[in-house]
Amino acid sequence: MFSWLGKQSGGRERGGGGSDVVQTVTGGLRDLYLRKLLPLEEHYRFHDFHSPALEEADFENKPMVLLVGQYSTGKTTFIRYLLEQDFPGMRIGPEPTTDSFIAVMYGDSEGSIPGNALVVDPKKPFRKLSRFGNAFLNRFMCSQLPNQVLKSISIIDSPGILSGEKQRISRGYDFCQVLQWFAERVDRIILLFDAHKLDISDEFSEAIKSFRGQDDKIRVVLNKADQVDTQQLMRVYGALMWSLGKVINTPEVLRVYIGSFWAHPLRNTDNRRLFEAEAQDLFRDIQSLPQKAAVRKLNDLIKRARLAKVHAYIISYLKKEMPSVFGKENKKKELISRLPEIYIQLQREYHISAGDFPEVKKMQELLETCDFTKFHSLKPKLIEAVDNMLANKIASLMSLISQEESNMPTEIVQGGAFDGTMAGPFGHGYGEGAKEGADEDEWVVAKDKPAYDEIFYTLSPINGKISGISAKKEMVTSKLPNSVLGKIWKLSDCDGDGMLDDEEFALAKHLIKIKLDGYELPGTLPSHLVPPSHRKPFQTAE
C-alpha cells in the first residue's frame, strides 16, 4: 500500500522508531506535493498570490515555535527561560530591544548567521524569505547554540510590535506579510501579553489578523502575572479575553496560559499553585510538538491543497469571462469589482465552503496588476490529481501515522526548563493531593485519624466495622457526587468485604478531603496510602 512512500524514505523500515516514521511520512508528503499539488500551483500562478513553493527543507525541518507580542512583553526572556542560557543576538530591556527576527536553532557550536547568508542555505527552511528584500534580511538572523531543547524544536523571536507609523513605515518591509509567511510554516504561534499592557493596538491587531486560517496553532500567554494580586489578575484576564474576542474571529475561546515566565522570584506568591499548573500545561503543549509534527505538516498540506483548488477555479473563471479582442481593460475592472459575487457563484457550482476562499480585498488588490489574458483555462486533470491526493493518498498517510504513533516511543522536548518539571520534589504536584506522604515512613492519614475515629464510633460499628449504609450516611455529607463517592469507596474498601474498619474509614475521609481540596483521585490506591493493617494481604493480592 505504501510503496510510493518507500522510495522517498531511503528504504527505512517503518517500525524502526519515531525518526524513521517521521522521515517516511516526510518523504511521502514531499512526493505528493511535487507530483500532485505543485503542477496545479504553477499552472495557475498560486505562488504569486498566496505562498511560495515548498522546498525540501520545509518538509525536513524541526517543529518551530513563533513568539509574537508588543515590545517588553517578555518574548526574548521567555526563550531564555526555556533554554536556561543566553543565545547570540539576545537583548533584553524595557525598551524595544529586539529589532530583528531571530531564528534560534540547534548548532554544534555557538554562533550566528546573518539573513543574507541564511536564505541561500538549502538546509534551512528560509530560502523563500529572500523575496522580502534587503531591508528584511538585514533584520533577520539565525542564532545557533548546542542546547538540548533545540535538538527537538526551533524558536523564532520576532521584533516587538510598535504603535503608529513606525510599525508600517520605519521597518522598510511588510511586517505582517513576514509574520504570515512564518505562521504558515510553524507548529505553534504564541502571543505574549504583559499583565500591565493589555491594549491591542491597531498594529498588533493587524499582525494577529495575518494569522487568519492558522487559529489552531495559536496559544496566548499572559506574562508577568505575579506583578498583580488575585483580584487584579481576575480583571486583567477578563479584559484580555474581551480584547482578543474583538480581534480573533473564532467561536472558540483561545487557551490562555497565566504565569511569570522567567527565572526570578515571584513578586506575589498568592497564585503560585496556579502559575505552576499553567506552566506545566504550556510545557506539555510545547513538548508534544515533535510527536505531532508529521500530523501538522499533513494538515498544512491539506489546507494548501484546498486553497490551491479554489485559486484554480477563480483564475480559470476570470480567464473564461475575458473577451477575446475588445474591451479587455473594462471587463477586468468589472470582474474585480464583482469578485464577491464570483465567490458565491463558485461556491454553489463546485460545492466549496466559503471558508476555503482567500480574502476578497487582498485578492482584488493582487488582481489589479495581473494580465487576465495570460491566465489559463480550467484543466480538469490537474484538479482530479489533487482530489485523488486528498481522497486516497492523504488518508493512507494518516493511517500510517496513527499506526506508528501507537507503536513508537513518545518523542518529547527535553532539556532546559523542561527538565525542571519532570521529577523530584519540585516537579508539578509533588507531595500534594494523593502524592502527599509518598516519601514518609508514617502513614499520612495517621495525623488526622483521631478526628476520623470520633466520627467512626458515632456510626455504631459492629465487630470493629461499619456497614456500607452507615458509611454512606457520613460520606454524602461531603456533597460530592455519587460517582466520586463510589470511587472513594472502592479505593477505601481494601479487603473488598463491603464494610469499613477504622483505618479504611479514615482513608475514605482522607480521600474525600483530597477531592474537596481540588486534587484528582488516583486510579489505583498508591502503596503509601494503604492502611498499615492491610498492607501485607493487599500487596499479596496485587
Checking 343-350 for CB contacts under 8 A at 24+ apart, the result is 343/314, 345/317, 346/310, 346/313, 346/314, 346/317, 350/313
Q: In the prediction, which pLDDT does 502 show?
A: 95
Q: Is 463 exposed, middle or buried (0-12, 13-18, 19+ CB in 10 A)?
A: exposed
Q: How high is the pLDDT of residue 73? A: 85
pLDDT (average), residues 112-126: 93
What pLDDT is recorded for position 4? 37
Residue 421 pLDDT level (bands cut at 50, 70, 90): low
Mean pLDDT in residue range 112-130: 93
Task: Express each pLDDT in 301-311 by its tens digit.
Answer: 999 999 999 99
Nearest to 510 by CA among 412, 414, 421, 434: 434
All three cell numbers of 149? 531543547
Query: Where residue 1 falls among pLDDT bands split at 50, 70, 90?
Result: very low
Q: According to the model, what pLDDT value does residue 13 have?
A: 36
Give the rounded percent of residues in the chain with a pLDDT score beyond 90: 56
d(CA 291, CA 286): 10
In this prediction, residue 200 carries a pLDDT of 83
Tens of pLDDT, residue by residue over 363-416, are 999 999 999 999 999 999 999 999 999 988 888 888 777 776 666 666 788 888
In 3D space, the residue among 380, 372, 374 whose CA is nearest the CA of residue 321 turns out to be: 372
* pLDDT band (50, 70, 90) for residue 424: low
Across 458-476, average pLDDT: 94
- Cβ atoms of 82 and 152 within 8 Å: the answer is no
More confident site: 12 or 69: 69
Taking residues 96-123, report their average pLDDT. Answer: 88
At residue 262, the pLDDT reads 85
The pTM (predicted TM-score) of the whole model is 0.75
Least confident interval from 34-43, 224-233, 242-251, 421-430: 421-430
Lowest mean pLDDT of 167-181, 319-333, 448-462, name the range. Answer: 167-181
The CA-CA-CA angle for residues 448, 451, 454, to 5°, reads 145
Instruction: Tell which CATH architecture fits domain 434-534.
Output: Orthogonal Bundle (1.10)
Give me the pLDDT at residue 423, please. 57
Asked if 397 and 64 touch (Cβ cutoff 8 Å), the reply is no
Nearest to 521 by CA among 495, 529, 85: 529
**Given this model, what pLDDT does residue 541 score?**
43
Q: What is the pLDDT of residue 539?
A: 47
Give pLDDT tens digits for 335-365: 999 999 999 999 999 999 998 999 999 999 9
pLDDT tier at 441 (50, 70, 90 boundaries)?
confident
Higher pLDDT, 406 or 36: 36
Q: Give the right CATH number for 64-288 from 3.40.190.10, 3.40.50.300, 3.30.70.260, 3.20.20.120.
A: 3.40.50.300
Structural domain boundaries in the chain:
25-54+295-407, 64-288, 434-534
* CATH code assigned to 25-54+295-407: 1.10.268.20
pLDDT in tens, 499-534: 999 999 999 999 999 999 888 899 899 999 999 998
Contact (Cβ atoms closer than 8 angstroms) between residue 522 and residue 491 = yes
pLDDT exceeds 90 at position 263: no
| pLDDT over threshold 90, residue 266 | no
Helices (H), 105-227: 115-118, 133-137, 165, 175-185, 202-209
Distance CA 21, CA 292 (A): 12
**Torsion sign over Cα 112, 116, 118, 120:** negative
Which tens digit of pLDDT belongs to each residue from 52-94? 999 888 888 899 999 999 888 889 899 999 998 899 888 776 5
- The lowest-confidence range among 143-147, 159-163, 487-491 is 159-163
Window from 32-36, 134-138, 244-248, 459-463 with minimum mean pLDDT: 244-248
**Mean pLDDT in the chain?**
86
